[in-house]
Amino acid sequence: MQKKSLRTDDSCREDIERYSDMVYKLAFSLLKNEYDAEDVYQDVFYQYLHKNPVFQGEEHKKAWFLRVTINRCRNFFHTAWMLKVMGIQKSGEVEETMPSPSAEEEALKKEPDKLIELVKTLPQKYRVVIHLFYYEDLSIEEISSILKKKPSTVRTQLTRARALLKEVLKEDFYVS
């Protein structure tokens, strides 16, 4: 059986350079852990190089990278290793039980902005829509296509995420 070789042409290098920050930031936003985000990052680009997908344009390519990153992050929490080590029970909201980052990981973060820290405390379904809407500058229709959800669901999740952030910011303001 002959192994399939990976692509290594210049267009692949350009795509990796173009989408690497986006993939890493999204993985880090969802996983809240630098090392796990790096694993997902490598997995996404390995899949890209190995599968050699054909795209209809740049928007399609960007959507593919976002979708694969989200899927890999979700799959990460369903591995036997994570279920056993983290004591996570299989459910629809597995991501809610994710551990918070350690002090060392906090120090290593590339974006120490307080709002970004607050976004990371949101449930995953809200972090995803916030990240795609504000950091990737995607429309609600594009997000709904990537997440395979109705636009009304995306709007609702975005509204709820904003409300949660507003509440946390309000509490933080009065405590200080």
Report whether 169 contacts 119 (CB < 8 A). no
User: Identical fold at 7-100 and 111-176?
Assistant: no
The CB-side HSE value for 85 (13 A sphere, CA atoms) comes to 9
pLDDT beyond 50 at 26: yes
Report whether 27 contacts 135 (CB < 8 A). no
How many angstroms separate the CA atoms of 40 and 108, rounded?
Answer: 18
How many CB atoms lie under 10 A from the CB of residue 138? 21
CATH class of residue range 111-176: mainly alpha
pLDDT beyond 50 at 38: yes
The 8 Å CB, 24+ separation contacts for 138-142 are 138/66, 142/59, 142/63
Q: Which pTM value belongs to this model?
A: 0.59
- Residues 32-55 as b/e (b if ≥16 CB within 10 A, e otherwise) read bbbebbeebbebbbebbbeeeeee
The dotted CATH code for 7-100 is 1.10.1740
* End-to-end CA gap in the chain: 65
How many angstroms separate the CA atoms of 158 and 60, rounded?
Answer: 23
How many angstroms separate the CA atoms of 162 and 101, rounded?
Answer: 22
Each domain of the chain, given as residue ranges in start order, spans 7-100, 111-176
Amino acid at 141: E
How many angstroms separate the CA atoms of 76 and 120, rounded?
Answer: 17
Q: How confident is the model at residue 173 (pLDDT cuts 50, 70, 90)?
A: low
pLDDT beyond 70 at 80: no
Q: Which stretch of 98-107, 120-129, 144-153, 157-166 has the lowest confidence by average pLDDT?
A: 98-107
**What is the pLDDT at residue 82?**
61
Q: Which stretch of 66-75, 116-125, 126-135 has the lowest confidence by average pLDDT?
A: 116-125
Name the 3-class secondary structure at 103: helix
